[in-house]
Amino acid sequence: MKLLRTSLIGLLLLAPAVFAEVGSGEMQVSIGYTGAPTDHGGKDCSTCHNSFAPNSDGSGSVTIQVNPYNPSTVQEIKVFVNHPHAVKWGFQLTAREVSDLTKNAGSFTVSGPHTQVRVDDGTQAGAPAPANASGVIEFAEHVNAPQTSSGAGFEFDLLWMPPNPEVGKVIFYISAVAANGDGSPLGDHVYTITKTVDFTGGCTATKAPLVRTVVNGASFEQNFSSNGMITVYGSGFTQAGPRIAGLGDFENGAFPTVLSCVAVEMMGPGLEQYTRLPITYVDQGQINAQAPRFMGIGPVLLRAIINPDRGDAFTSAISTFNTLQTFSPAFFLLANTNSIAARFPDGRLVADPAVVKNGTKAKPGDIIMLYGTGFGDTQHPLLAGQVDSGINSVTNQLVITMAGLVLGSHNVLYAGLAPQAISGLYQFNLRIPINVPSGDIEVVITISGHRTQMGTTIPIQ
C-alpha cells in the first residue's frame, strides 16, 4: 500500500502596501495576502487597509464566478468587488489543492483589463508569470487599480487552466479592497472569501477494466479481513496518472468512494447488495481500498467501475474470492524491503540508513510506532473510510514478540487504530526490551491463531 499526511504580527506602519496609490502611479502589489492559511499565516488585504476588520461592512462584498472544472478545459473567472461609496478597486486571488494548500492548482492568464498574474519567486512582489519551474504558487491580482464613479463596483476577468490530471477539490482564496480613492490605505473596506469547486469531466475511459486479484493491502498475501486494507490488481483502472486520496477528495469527512473516475464495490457475508469501498490510491493497474465490514466469512464478490454513476460507465466482470478470514494481521513494509514501516515518536523513520536514506536504527529501550492492518474490532467501531480521531484500542487479545521475546504490558503502550488515519490502519506503540539483540530482529503479532507475515523486521543497533 502507498501510505499517506509563524505568524508574527508585524508593525503595520512597516507592512508592505497591498493597494496604495502614490502620485500618478501605484505601489507594486505584494503577493500572498489572499487569506490562504499557508501564506503569511493567513493574512489578507486588511494587513494594510486596516481601518475596518475584513467583511465587517455588510454594504459591500466580493464575489467570484467559477464552475466545477474539467481538467482539459479553460474557463473564465469573474471577480466582482462592490461597495456603495467606494471609487477604486483591487483584489488578489490564488487557487490551491484542498488536499495540500501549499500546492498551486492550475494556472491563470489575463483576459481583461486591470489584471496581472505573478508567481512566488521569494520576493515581496513576485515575478511575472509564467513561472520557469513547475509547482510555483501563482497569484492573480489587479494592476493600475481601476477608478469608477462612486458605488459602481468593478469586475475583474481572467482565465484559469485547471490542473491536469484532476487533483480533487480546489479552493480559491480571494481578498479584495473597495477603496475611497484618497491615496492612502485608510478608510477602505476589505472583503475576503473562499470558493471550493470539485472536478467534472476528465473521465475518458472507453472500455471496461479488468480485475485480476485482490490481496491484503499490507502483506500482499491472499487473505484479507473485514474492514482491512486491500489492494486490487488489474488493468484499465484510470487513464490519468497515479492519484493518492487527500482532503480535497473526502466525502463528509471520510475517504472517497470514487477517485480519479474509479470505484470498486464488494458484496459478501452480511452484505446483500454491492457496497462501494473507500479508496486511498489508484493508478492504471492498482487500487488501494478498505474492505467493508462483513458478518462472518465466505465468498466475496468484487467489481471495478470506471466513470461510475454516469451514462458512459464501464463495469468489470464480477470476480469471486474465497480469501476472506476473520483476522488478517499484517505489517506495512518499507518499499522493496522486509523492514516494517515504523517511526520514532518524533517522526524519524526507523530503518537501516544503509538501506533507506534518512533512516535511523532503533536501540533497546526506544519507543517506536509500527503500522499494520487486519487486527479486528476496536473499542469504538468505525465504518470503512472513516477517520479515527483519538485513542481506539483493539478488543481482541494480542501476543507481540520481538526477537522471540514476548512483550509485557509495560512494553505495549498502545495497540489500536492510528489516530487521524483511515479506520483500516492500526498503530502499535512499543517499547523495545533492553535485552533484544542487535541486528534485524523479527517482530510478530499474533491474534486468535493468525500471525503477521513471516520475516518482517526492525533494525536494532
CA 96/CA 80 separation, integer angstroms: 20
Rg (alpha carbons) of the chain, rounded to whole number: 27
pLDDT in tens, 95-109: 999 999 999 999 999
| Contact (CB, 8 A) for 231 and 217 | yes
Q: Which residue has the higher pLDDT, 411 or 390?
A: 411
Domain residue spans of the chain: 12-197, 211-325, 329-461
Task: Report the run of H or E that residue 443 belongs to, with start and end.
Answer: strand 439-447
pLDDT in tens, 246-304: 988 998 999 999 999 999 999 999 999 999 999 999 999 999 999 999 999 999 999 99
Domain covering 329-461, topology: Coagulation Factor XIII; Chain A, domain 1 (2.70.50)
Q: Is the pLDDT of residue 7 over 90?
A: no
What contacts 289, CB < 8 A, 6 or more positions away? 217, 229, 230, 231, 232, 264, 277, 278, 279, 280
Q: Which residue has the cell 521569494?
A: 122
pLDDT of residue 72: 82
Mean pLDDT, residues 296-321 taken together: 94
Q: Is the pLDDT of residue 205 over 60?
A: yes
Task: Map residue 248 onto helix, strand or coil.
Answer: helix
Asked if the domains 12-197 and 211-325 are classified in one and the same CATH topology, the answer is yes
pLDDT in tens, 31-76: 999 999 999 999 999 999 999 999 999 999 999 999 999 988 999 9
- Model confidence band, residue 132 (pLDDT cutoffs 50, 70, 90): low
10's grid cell = 508585524
pTM for this model (two decimals): 0.80
Distance of CA 301 to the CA centre of its chain: 30
pLDDT of residue 113: 86
238's grid cell = 484510470
Architecture of domain 211-325: Sandwich (2.60)
Report the share of the chain in percent with pLDDT over 90: 84
CA 159/CA 112 separation, integer angstroms: 9
Number of Cβ atoms within 10 Å of the Cβ of 317: 10
Domain covering 12-197, topology: Immunoglobulin-like (2.60.40)
Task: Map residue 68 onto helix, strand or coil.
Answer: coil
CA 48/CA 222 separation, integer angstroms: 61
| Contact (CB, 8 A) for 315 and 332 | no
